[in-house]
Structure 1
Amino acid sequence: MAVLPFVDVKPNGTVKAAVVWLHGLGDSGHGFAPIVPELRIPADAGIRFIFPHAPEQPVTVNGGMRMRAWYDIKTMDLTNRADEAGVRESAHAVQQLLDQLIADGLDSERIVLAGFSQGGVIALHLLARLPYKLAGVMALSTYMCAPDKLAAEATASNKSIPVFFGHGTQDPVVPVAAGQQAFHALKKQGFQVSWHDYRMEHSVCAQEVADISSFLQRLFMTAKEN
């Protein structure tokens, strides 16, 4: 499988870190790219933002319409919403992209994996299963695929890294309880999760953008100074 195509937002100067940010259903890498200047991260942080495009596929709940999706959704019932085989296939493709960044010379501990909605499902799946350590993970308005397999499949590689959960309390697409379920499942397995909720629906708000900026600066700017 070829490495996923992506929107590449490079910093001025040397690349010192990277954020790989996965979009939601029906969106593309272009959807979140405009958030970079809104984060107001100092230029000397040297953060490269990579926004991969999910492949196009028919989505059952949308009448079989083809759109960019990390996996098929056969039902809106959260227990069976994520097509597990599709999640694993996309997780493999995203891991290939991470592997390529590392092969190109970027330390894995200078990479943050982020995902919104469907993209967050992939990010959480990889958080628990990657063989190497990342800098952190951001799970935005999302839930977990196959939480019943977490205990058996989780590696220890990323149990010590910070995991930022952000969710809207009025989310009609992914209920806040689904995000909390994923949060508690990871916490039970020893992951370092933090919870942030916002008065919003299935979206991103200004306060969340500010909190994400602080999260990234804490990870990358502090590490730079040590």
Structure 2
Amino acid sequence: MIHNPNNIRTAGVPLESAQKVMIMIHGRGGSARDILSLSEYIQDKDFAFIAPEAKGNTWYPNSFLRPISENEPYLSSALEVLASLRARLQSDFNFKIPQIYWLGFSQGACLALEFVARNAAEYGGVFGLSGGLIGPEGTLRQYEGTLENTPIFLGCSDHDPHIPKERVLESETIFRELGGNVTAKLYPNFSHSINEDEINLVNLLIADSH
């Protein structure tokens, strides 16, 4: 195991008493503390927030558009961290799948989206900010399971230097095929960062998911 699944930070309501939990996944060069700072902008105060931290602050070494083998074994280890975190939330804190939400930025968004596609279920919500499904163009997307109308939001610049808009739109299509209730939004000439409109949409989808 390259990444340590126990290297986590939390915020918000204690896990023991929270009604909902949001797993927040940082981007390349970021940290658990960085991504947890976004929790201050989530209007719903019933959440516990939990964020794993990558070894060396990077989940996998190369672009998410490279052949998957070039990002191994880091990618598999990163996905394993998310699997173990989800399992622990279910077994130790009795969260049901619909009480679990995912939010990732950049590399963290790619990781969250890939995990959710590979482990489709009726989550509370999935928010991929500046990210898309992992793998080169033409990757076979043979995902199983169904998202059962899980609210999904994909937000990205239409000229992001790291995330081609085509991949965001391809991911939108895949998540729709998996049964997700997808909202995708491309922001004209926006930078590789998170904007106020994205946070507003995340809050809106959380409020609607009650």
State the TM-score, normalized to the length of structure 1: 0.79
Q: 2: distance between equivalents of 1:77 and 1:9? A: 28
- Corresponding residue for residue 78 of structure 1: 65
Query: Which structure would you say has the larger Rg?
Result: 1
- Corresponding residue for residue 37 of structure 2: 34
- Corresponding residue for residue 77 of structure 2: 89
Deviates more, 1:88-97 or 1:174-183: 174-183
Q: Offset of 1:184 from its aligned partner?
A: 2.3
Q: What does 1:143-182 correspond to in 2, within 5 Å? A: 143-146=132-135, 148-151=139-142, 154-182=143-171
Superimposed CA distance per residue, residues 91-148 of structure 1 (whole angstroms, 9 cap, x where no aligned partner): 1111101110111211121001121111112111211222754222111101211363
SS state of the match for residue 15, structure 1? coil
Aligned partners of 2:65 and 2:134 also within 8 Å: no
Q: 1: distance between equivalents of 2:64 and 2:179? A: 27
Superimposed CA distance per residue, residues 201-226 of structure 1 (whole angstroms, 9 cap, x where no aligned partner): 1100111111111122222xx2xxxx
- Corresponding residue for residue 10 of structure 2: 8
What is the identity, as a one-letter code, of the residue corresponding to 1:53? E
What is the identity, as a one-letter code, of the residue corresponding to 1:52? P
- Corresponding residue for residue 53 of structure 1: 53
What is the identity, as a one-letter code, of the residue corresponding to 1:215? L
- Corresponding residue for residue 65 of structure 1: none
Alpha carbons of structure 1 residues 190 and 79: separation in structure 2 relative to 1, 3 Å: farther
Aligned partners of 1:33 and 1:51 also within 8 Å: yes
- Corresponding residue for residue 21 of structure 2: 18
What is the identity, as a one-letter code, of the residue corresponding to 1:11? V
- Corresponding residue for residue 110 of structure 2: 121
What is the identity, as a one-letter code, of the residue corresponding to 1:180? L
Q: 2: distance between equivalents of 1:165 and 1:150? A: 18
- Corresponding residue for residue 185 of structure 2: 196
Alpha carbons of structure 1 residues 189 and 84: separation in structure 2 relative to 1, 3 Å: farther
Aligned partners of 2:125 and 2:205 also within 8 Å: no
Task: Count how many residue pairs are aligned between Structure 1 and Structure 2.
Answer: 202
- Aligned equivalent of 1:99, options 87, 91, 98: 87
What is the identity, as a one-letter code, of the residue corresponding to 1:36? S
Aligned partners of 2:21 and 2:100 also within 8 Å: yes
Aligned partners of 1:4 and 1:54 also within 8 Å: no
Alpha carbons of structure 1 residues 17 and 166: separation in structure 2 relative to 1, 3 Å: same
Task: Structure 2 unaligned segments of length 5 or more: list them.
Answer: none
> Structure 1 vs Structure 2: percent identity of aligned residues?
21
Q: Offset of 1:50 from its aligned partner?
A: 1.1
Q: 2: distance between equivalents of 1:207 and 1:131? A: 27
